Amino acid sequence: MSAPALLTLDSVTAARPDGTALFSDLSLAVGRERIGLVGRNGSGKSTLLAIMAGEAPARAGHIHRAGRIATLRQIQPDRGSVAQALGVADALDLLERMEAGSGTLDDAGEADWTLPERLAAALADVGLPHIALDRDCATLSGGERTRLGLAAMLLTGPDLLLLDEPTNNLDAEGRGAIADLLARWPGGALVASHDRDLLETMDRIIQLSPVGILSVTGGWSDFVAQRDAMRERAETALDRSRRQVTTQERAAQRQVERKARRDKAGRALRERGGAPRILLGAMAQQAQESGGRERRLAERLIGEARETLDDARQQVEILTPLHIDLPPSGLSAGRTLLRFEDVVLERGDRRLFGPLSFDITGPRRIALAGPNGSGKTSLLALATGVLAPTSGHVTRAGGLIAMLDQHVALLDARLDLVGNMRARHPGMTHGEAHTTLARAAFRNRDALKPAGVLSGGERLRAGLAIVTAGPTPPQLLILDEPTNHLDLDAIETLEDALRDYDGALLVVSHDEAFLARIGIERRIGLGA
């Protein structure tokens, strides 16, 4: 007999505030299993987690919760001490008073003597076993605060964990702590993530999309196999629909040609004379009625075929990733674009790294590795000339290096994409800006979207289109955590573009699957 579900959704429907449907008729039972939740940005993943947690209403359907549910909260730098951020500062103070013999009867009634043991276990589970409880959260890295949020969640003693992008901004150590926690977790977990290594460990994957909900038993590889099969079937259906439209249009043309031949024969008969007038009239009326029926039938069949074609095309557009066409860089194998010679970078009395020496010559692909706080982003600032080294020399190929940070800060939120393109390249015409943006899948009205309303994937596509435009494309692209705010479809689109790019790459990323797919050939390690 199977264990009862911790959470059950029955025909749940959700929509955006403007009434646009996110997903509908979602029925799902979550037991003591690990479920990966995927979908494009805006598909409703965060909304679904909020509905499950009871923090947002569903538009329709029923939710039954049979276990205690906990949601991951991001700890902010202004939350005070670690103990305060975990919500245990007062309880620990009370235990201290009791142990010192200064507690009251009320203190004795409220004391939770299991707290120290549970707290130690929770912090160990998330990879922070030795963190000081009086440490200020402002001194923690983003990854450390994420792990602290996980510990706060575990302290509630939940049966079901709801995690929204738990590995975002985490270094390799932090990602490993999350994976280890989920591997050992005896309850249920539903994880919205674009971390493919983490998704590979799931028991099943659920995808939210405009064409329905796909549930696949197994991890990410199993999901990809089914998803790609769906895409192939959609392409086959599109080809079949195109052929059907062509067949119906040709049949209609043959009908027109047959009618023209019959009309010509009738005119010839009338011109020769000899046939009774009543017979000629009946023949003309019959031809007219027959031609009308044939025309209406042909129009209906062509209309139905075109509707089927439109549906098939829409399915392909939804299921198939977009494409970014980066211009050729013209980089030769012997061209040196960046050279570090005995570079040291210090902040105050702390040495971030160095002495460090390396060069990027030809189309090399290099990743910077190291824990959060080891100086990876600072090294990129040295590479682009934003920072100067404490000692040593940095040599750059002027005008041939372009960088995109994870927020694509070069975009002006007040301008549309054409305006952003022309602001960066003043000599570019309106039409040239449209053509360039179309190579990054911003066609027609999409190129007139204000930058401030773009999703993470759209921002990255726009940023790549802008920095690679112009008469001299960059030969070295520098990318700082480019996948952090992207959904999986956008990540795969970026991977395809970078695989085809013939220039050099210098990348900071904790996404091992991404680094493997773009062909990273060397890693430069920073920090301990």
Q: Looking at the domain 7-226, which fold is it? A: Rossmann fold (3.40.50)
pLDDT tens for 34-76 read 999 998 877 888 899 999 999 989 999 999 999 899 998 878 8
Q: Report the pLDDT value the prediction gives residue 262, as an integer from 0 to 100.
A: 66
The residues spanned by each domain of the chain are 7-226, 230-319, 336-412+451-525
Helix (H) or strand (E) holding 467: helix 456-467
Distance CA 185, CA 179 (A): 10
pTM reported for the whole predicted model: 0.72
Look at domain 336-412+451-525 and name its CATH class.
alpha beta
Q: Which residues of the chain, if any, have pLDDT below 50?
A: 1, 280, 316
Mean confidence (pLDDT) of the chain: 84
H or E stretch at 391: strand 391-396
For residue 261, give every residue at least 6 positions away whose Cβ sits within 8 Å of its Cβ, in sequence order, or none.
Answer: none
The Cα–Cα gap between 303 and 291 comes to 18
d(CA 252, CA 458): 43
Matching CATH topology for 7-226 and 336-412+451-525?
yes
DSSP state of 453: G
Length of the chain as a residue count: 528
Q: Where do we find the tokens 């017979």?
A: 279
Instruction: Please state the φ and ψ torsions of residue 209, each to the nearest 5 degrees.
Output: -155, 165
| Of 451, 133, 503, 183, nearest in space to 331 by CA | 503
Distances (CA, A) of 292 to 262, 266, 323: 14, 17, 46
9, β-bridge pairs: 28, 63
Rounded CA separation 368/226 (Å): 34
Q: Which of 413, 403, 491 is CA-nearest to residue 454? A: 413
Helix (H, G, I), strand (E, B) or coil at 371: coil
Residues 102-153 have pLDDT tens digits of 877 777 778 788 888 999 999 988 888 889 999 999 988 777 888 888 899 8
Place of tokens 């000899």: 274
